[in-house]
Amino acid sequence: LGPSGCGKTTTLRMINRLIEPDGGRILVDGVDTHQIDPVRLRLKMGYVIQQTGLFPHMTVADNVATVPRLWDWDAARVKARVDELLELVGLPPREYRRRYPHQLSGGQRQRVGFARALGADPPILLMDEPFGAVDRITRERLQHEFISIQRSLGKTVVFVTHDIDEAVMVGDRICLMKMQAEIAQYDTPDAILTRPASDYVSQFLGRDRLVRRMSIEPIHHDALEHPAGGPAANEPRVQATSTLSEAFAAALSSPTEKAAVIDGERYIGSFSATSLLESLRRERPDATTEGGSQVASGV
């Protein structure tokens, strides 16, 4: 994560040796990438770029089949893998496998690009602003789909973005960079939002970082009430895994100004918008420069 020109894409391309580093080492599974043939290294990494990079003269199926064919998979295995991946990204094979890129919407092209990157089931995915070229609504849909797919596949993903909201949504850890490829902070999204390591990090996050924090943080149990009679029949229900943002929206839309938290069908407690905000204030989210992980390092 970082501003344009800070070295995000350069860093990404050093991982698969599209750009050779001037010094230092990059290790993949403990092995220096300079000890690995660059072609074999790249074949073991999926690569997704902003403009998808689909071959315009090839069908959707042929685009997705690119890497499996480079690995000399037999035709039946390639077809099965293509169909599996198209289903995974929400493009029914019977409808889409014979289409060409120009016959697809921007969001559909991004899905095909993602499917192609997964072609030979690589353990690592490199994604360079993959959703940057589509409209906001499509982008949010693709982000949620990516998160769902990633949870099921469990890949190691290096994801480049300049959008703090996107980084908070999709990242397990965030490396925030300054110009000249200096690392300002490397930490979890929650740690960066609650404990910025410097004034630069605070300024990059902006004044609405509390809203961003609410989009990833689960409901606080100390915000819950436990009425003896249980929740009112007309109280909205939210799952225990819901974020504070989702919970806040439920409380604001409630005729009772409260919402109930459930785990499956089991009632856990109720909350109001006020109790949610009070639980956040107790954690002092306004801290700016204490804590966090700051690294002064060039790339």
**221: which DSSP letter?**
G
pLDDT given for residue 278 in this prediction = 78
Q: Please state, for a pLDDT cut of 70, what percent of the chain lies above it.
A: 92
Residue 80: which H helix or E strand, with range?
helix 75-88
pLDDT given for residue 199 in this prediction = 94
Are the CB atoms for 25 and 15 separated by under 8 Å?
no
Q: Which residue has the higher pLDDT, 99 or 163?
A: 99
Count other C-beta atoms under 10 Å from residue 138's C-beta: 16
**181: which DSSP letter?**
G
pTM, whole model, 2 decimals? 0.73
Query: What's the pLDDT tens digit per position in 171-204?
Result: 999 999 999 999 999 999 888 887 899 999 999 9
Any idea what the Cα angle at residue 189 is, between residues 192 and 198, rounded to 5°? 15
Are the CB atoms for 173 and 186 separated by under 8 Å?
yes
Query: What's the pLDDT tens digit per position in 277-286?
Result: 777 766 644 4
Of 17, 19, 76, 20, the closest CA to residue 43 belongs to: 17
Of 24, 67, 25, 21, the closest CA to residue 44 belongs to: 67
Domains of the chain, each with CATH number or no CATH: 8-172 (3.40.50.300), 221-282 (3.10.580.10)
pLDDT band at 297 (very low <50, low <70, confident <90, very high): very low
Count other C-beta atoms under 10 Å from residue 32's C-beta: 10
